[in-house]
Structure 1
């Protein structure tokens, strides 16, 4: 497996809940996990994220919901409509509805949701 140059590691409250969300709702797959550490390395179409149940190892201050305030993760997908349908079928509220944006000569469809810990996930498809 090739590792990206930047791989965010997200502290989560409940690793099982987060894994269910990322795998069942969003279609990520587990690349590897350390069950004893409540850690999973997951990927979707080349996007890579590590999730680990909060353990205080990376604590810089009190961790309160929503986690990751001030950041959103853009994840490019192959079919945004299929993903959006899955999100809706699982009753995940949209933080920002599907929209089209233009950036320096290309267009992108995107929507934003929050994961169970409040991290903002911006899914996009360029065309």
Structure 2
């Protein structure tokens, strides 16, 4: 591994039921594999500075309770992308349907300004909720 590569200080690791199915999903949206291991089946992914680890479920995994489907209840992962329409199209080609359809959303970031993003939400093969977003800029909160 290149010592000069960026390492995010917080990287979620998701337990997945089938690493290959998950890789098809994440590679379709633009993630690349930085490295992977076979025992247990594991991949470290990145898209720009977004990083994610996937580990296939196994008896010695770091899970404190039985895994009920869909996985990842109570959390969604936002991934900023350069072209959210292209990401949506790639997922549609895989047969992935939207959890929430694409929309432009403006969030207050101060008393006087909002920042916007075009976003949609989908579930990955195990049910983890992924929000793909493209930054739209900043505007007055008039």
Task: Give your verdict on TM over 0.5.
Answer: yes
CA distance in 2, matches of 1:123, 1:81: 10
Q: Is the 8 A contact 2:77 2:131 kept in 1?
A: yes
Matched, 1:81 2:85: yes
**What residue is the counterpart of 1:121 in the other structure?**
130
8 Å Cα contact 2:16/2:55 also seen in 1: yes
- 2:32 matches 1:29: yes
CA distance in 2, matches of 1:22, 1:74: 13
Residue-by-residue CA offset, 1:46-103 (whole Å, 9 max, x unaligned): 1100000012421111101100100000000001111111111221010000011111
Would you say how many aligned residue pairs link Structure 1 and Structure 2? 126
Unmatched 5+ stretches in structure 1 = none
TM-score between the two structures when normalised by the length of structure 2: 0.85
Q: Which has the larger radius of gyration?
A: 2
The root-mean-square deviation of aligned C-alpha atoms, in Å, is 1.0
- Indicate the SS of the match to 1:88: helix
Unaligned 5+ residue runs, structure 2?
109-113, 137-142
Q: How does 1:68-107 map to 2 (within 5 A)?
A: 68-104=72-108, 105-107=114-116
Q: Output one character per residue of 1:93-117: Cα deviation in whole Å (capped at 9) or x when no partner.
A: 1000001111122211000000000
What stretches of structure 1 move > 3 A for 4+ residues in a row?
A: none
